[in-house]
Amino acid sequence: MTRDRTPLLLGAIFVLIVAGGPLLPQWALFILTIAIAQGLVVLGLMLLLRAGLVSFGQALYYCVGAYTTVGLTRAFGVSEIFVRLAAGAAVAAVLAFVLGFLLAKYRGIFFGLLSLALSMILYGLIVKSEALGSTDGLNVAPATLLGARPGADSVRYAMAVIAALVGTGAAYAVHLYLGSPLGRLGPAIKDNEIRVEYMGASVRYTIHVKYVIAATLAGAGGALAATTVGHIDPEMGYWTTSGEFVFVTILAGTGSVLAPFLGALLFSAIHTIAYDVSPHTWQMSLGAALLLVIVFLPGGLWSLFARGKAG
> For 5-34, what is the mean pLDDT?
90
Domains of the chain, by residue range, sit at 6-238
pTM, entire model: 0.91
> For 104-119, what is the mean pLDDT?
91
pLDDT, residue 118, reads 93
> For 196-213, what is the mean pLDDT?
91
Contact 255, 303 (CB under 8 A): yes
Lowest mean pLDDT across 89-98, 241-250, 266-275: 266-275
Q: What are phi and psi of 231, to 5 degrees?
A: -155, 145
Mean pLDDT estimate for the chain: 87
Q: Compute the distance between CA of residue 205 and CA of residue 29 in angstroms, rounded to an integer.
A: 39
> For 146-163, what is the mean pLDDT?
83
Percent of the chain with pLDDT over 90: 45
Query: 295 vs 76, which has greater pLDDT?
Result: 76
Contact 21, 160 (CB under 8 A): yes
User: Residue 307: pLDDT above 60?
Assistant: no
User: Residue 2: pLDDT above 70?
Assistant: no
pLDDT, residue 1, reads 45
